[in-house]
Structure 1
Amino acid sequence: MTKPILKAYYNKIFFEFLVHKDDFVDAIIILPGFPSSNNEDELMQFFYENGFNVFYLRYGGSFQSKGYFLESNPSDDITQCIKYINRGKIVSLWDMEEKSFKNRDLIFLTGSFGGAIACSIVAKSNHLISRIILSAPVWDFDKHNTTYEEQNLSHLSDFVKRAYQNLYRIKFNNLINQLHKFKELSPEYYLQKLNCPLLVFYDQEDKTVSIEHTREIIKKIKKGRLIEHNLGHGLSEELIKRYWNEIEKFIKYG
């Protein structure tokens, strides 16, 4: 039977969660891409059924989260939310009852836009996160679409303003310029500070974000591994299930 997904807030950050009440287990922290469908129900259920606590966080200014998108550093906002979650007590908005649980290791799961955010959090949070699993991450927003033919992020910003009017509250006109405000999202900041194992999945023919960036970057990450596939851009349940044996081993042994 599918377990109801619970909902909660920490400050302006809205998140969903599934937890095991009495067990001391690893936790999956899911971050969305940009834009996002706002629905990872099947992925959450999959990890929960495999014994994990699961948390799906929304950036400030997106969907149910409060504020404006990227008005503050997303890595700071998410870090504070994760520290709150890791206390092991959350009030569910359904019945306003406190749910207790125990997290062991925390594992990031994200892709595309969320990649640099996850890496920056790991780089400055001093062992808060023990593993990172990425799918088609953008490592460096400044280099995107400058060497390889990739999605135009400036055009993407305009599209999101038109198509996601009530789902992303955006004041800025240029995504890249806005991201410049947050130096921690640059590989110059986070690459040398990544202190945990990292597993990356990438479609060899990805035209949204080129795999060539990752082929270069992965050589600079001591505990990094790249798995190439043909399942398309970004994070998906199909990808996780196809490579579940590799993912499970990575979570256990790094």
Structure 2
Amino acid sequence: MEMKHAFVQNQDILGDLLIPDEKINVKIGLVWLPGLPNQPLMEDMTHQLVQQGFTVLNARYPGSWQSYGKFGPSTSVEGAKLGMELLRSGKTTDLKGMQQVLWDIDKVVLIGNSYGGAVALTALATSDLSDGAVVFCPMLDPAAQNENPNEPEEDLSTMYPFLKRCHENTFRDIDPQEWEDFIIGNHSCNPVTYIDNLARKPILLLHGKEDRSIRAWHTESFFEELREAGAKNAELHLVDGIGHGRGLRTTTQDLWVKWLKEHFS
């Protein structure tokens, strides 16, 4: 099937926009929000989905890769909102040839992985631009990382020096105080503070039971909080034999693609 591939911009964010053939268009736009560190274009979050009729935006977070501005949790959330705003517009300019591109969608859904899960759920809770979210092994409560000494996890305090040392030109101008506020839970990008709002939204949570970077119990607890707050459209899937990252997305793709089409087509 023919697809269009444009390189696009909305204020500080730049990224790849892939548009399906109109014959298979399910009229659902997806904004992909990756973890850290990341690559600009993930094939499992672009071409395969477009071939199933989705319009997909792989935008870089502000201050990362080709995007402008400064990188951090606050600007990442703003970048997610700029991505949704762009998809909602239905038209933009392809920077490769300065030609107009058009697309047709009815719904916009955020797809977040790990750090991107925190960004996706925060943007969902604080904006009316998204209709729902799918999150994989999400960072739901940074302050609770390594809370259980018997289940060690990724140490978020090492992420800032790692990005500064190894990816300084890719993730630029990170504010160390903002990162500290983020990892102690004193930051607006913190999904657990939006439970009541998120309980009204369609959300699919997926987590691998063998995840050692972010333990699955965080997602289980978050789901229970959503249910206690009255959530009717939240769904949780814990997957045997799967750890953190891409494997979770690829092994469950049939499940979450079906969920997207059932809820938003």
Report the TM-score when normalising by structure 1: 0.88
**Preserved CA contact (<8 Å) 2:110 2:124:** no
The residue type paired with residue 244 of structure 2 is H
- In the alignment, what sits opposite 2:153? 150
With over 3 angstroms needed to count, the CA separation of the structure-2 counterparts of 1:110 and 1:154, relative to structure 1, is same
Percent of paired sites with the same residue: 23
How far did residue 189 of structure 1 move? 2.9
**Preserved CA contact (<8 Å) 2:204 2:235:** yes
SS at match of 1:102: coil
- In the alignment, what sits opposite 1:209? 214
**Preserved CA contact (<8 Å) 2:31 2:111:** yes
Cα separation, 1, equivalents of 2:4 and 2:27: 19
Cα separation, 2, equivalents of 1:182 and 1:76: 18
**Does 1:85 pair with 2:93?**
no
- In the alignment, what sits opposite 2:257? 248
Cα separation, 1, equivalents of 2:186 and 2:50: 33
Cα separation, 2, equivalents of 1:182 and 1:97: 44
- Unpaired runs of 5+ residues, structure 2, are none
From 108, 130, 141, the equivalent of 1:106 is 108
How far did residue 24 of structure 1 move? 6.4
The alignment of Structure 1 onto Structure 2 pairs a total of residues equal to 251
How far did residue 171 of structure 1 move? 3.7
- In the alignment, what sits opposite 1:185? 189
The residue type paired with residue 132 of structure 1 is A
Cα separation, 2, equivalents of 1:43 and 1:26: 14
CA RMSD of superposed structures (Å): 2.4
**Preserved CA contact (<8 Å) 1:157 1:175:** no
**Preserved CA contact (<8 Å) 1:108 1:132:** yes
Deviations 1:177-233 (A, max 9, x none): 253797432234321101322112211121111111111111122232221222321
How far did residue 118 of structure 1 move? 0.9
**Preserved CA contact (<8 Å) 1:153 1:176:** no
With over 3 angstroms needed to count, the CA separation of the structure-2 counterparts of 1:130 and 1:145, relative to structure 1, is same
The residue type paired with residue 133 of structure 1 is V
With over 3 angstroms needed to count, the CA separation of the structure-2 counterparts of 1:253 and 1:53, relative to structure 1, is same
**Does 1:232 pair with 2:233?**
no
SS at match of 2:238: strand
With over 3 angstroms needed to count, the CA separation of the structure-2 counterparts of 1:231 and 1:174, relative to structure 1, is farther
Cα separation, 2, equivalents of 1:210 and 1:71: 21
From 147, 160, 163, the equivalent of 1:160 is 163
SS at match of 1:157: helix
The residue type paired with residue 107 of structure 1 is V
How far did residue 107 of structure 1 move? 1.7
The residue type paired with residue 48 of structure 1 is V
Cα separation, 1, equivalents of 2:248 and 2:174: 34
With over 3 angstroms needed to count, the CA separation of the structure-2 counterparts of 1:104 and 1:185, relative to structure 1, is same
- In the alignment, what sits opposite 1:116? 118
SS at match of 2:176: coil
Cα separation, 1, equivalents of 2:155 and 2:258: 36
**Does 1:170 pair with 2:180?**
no
